[in-house]
Amino acid sequence: MSPRASALPPAERRVSIVRAALRLISANGTMPTTREIAEAAGIAEGTIFRAFDTKERLVEAVVGETFCPAAISLQMQAIDLEEPLRERLVALVAVLQGRFTEIFGVMSALGLTAPPSDREEHRGCRPDTGHVPVDQQDPADESAWRGSPGRLLAFVEPSADELTCTPAELVTYLRLFTFSASHPDIAEGQILPPQTIVSVVLDGVTRKAS
């Protein structure tokens, strides 16, 4: 059994429980029992039910954390837009692939056939992310638009003159290929690394030296 965790404020305790559940889902591919989650979090099983009224509420929190865009937005902000196009895209695909992989794993473990609705996906939003729903975001706030899947053009447009397609087309190709190359069923268990995904997509659209 894991060592007992130190006392935490209620919000932080909920976060630690959800993260323990996500680690177990990632490792085992199934939704763990509350006893397994408690052992992984280093707490008594009863602590889970003091943090969440029912296991259903815990599952909602797991789904909320998985689909909340705050974490991926923060990761995208860390990508240096001054890097060459290939390096930028490898970093971007690594972030997208990590998100897709976690989503696929949670959906499979929980038997979900579709993502939650916008209202449902934020029930378990992590209190430590400071996430603000999209309809309340300031358009001038870089941290808001950086995390939007529809606004990935910022990572491509600075190098538009290197391409034989439009930046929007490249973003579409990259997202489609990253999604399919990261899905264990579509990829037949052979998940492609970000470098390979970018090479396959980018080398087909870069201008050849004359």
pLDDT at 169 (0 to 100): 93
8: left (phi over 0), alpha (psi -120 to 50) or beta: beta
- Of 103, 96, 100, 101, which Cα lies nearest the Cα of 79? 96
The answer on pLDDT for 70 being more than 80 is no
Mean pLDDT confidence for 102-125: 75
The answer on pLDDT for 133 being more than 60 is no
pLDDT band at residue 5, thresholds of 50, 70 and 90? low
pLDDT band at residue 8, thresholds of 50, 70 and 90? confident
CA distances from 40 to 1, 61, 100 (A): 8, 17, 24
What is residue 205's DSSP assignment?
A: T
d(CA 87, CA 93): 10
pLDDT at 130 (0 to 100): 45
206 phi and psi angles, rounded to 5 deg = -75, 145
Single pTM value for the model: 0.75
The answer on pLDDT for 147 being more than 80 is no
pLDDT band at residue 151, thresholds of 50, 70 and 90? confident
* From 83-87, 138-142, 189-193, the region with the lowest mean pLDDT: 138-142
pLDDT band at residue 194, thresholds of 50, 70 and 90? very high
* From 40-49, 65-74, 81-90, 176-185, the region with the lowest mean pLDDT: 65-74
What is residue 137's DSSP assignment?
A: S
137 phi and psi angles, rounded to 5 deg = -80, 150
What's at 75, amino acid-wise?
A: Q
d(CA 165, CA 156): 11
Residues 6+ apart with CB under 8 A from 75: 95, 98
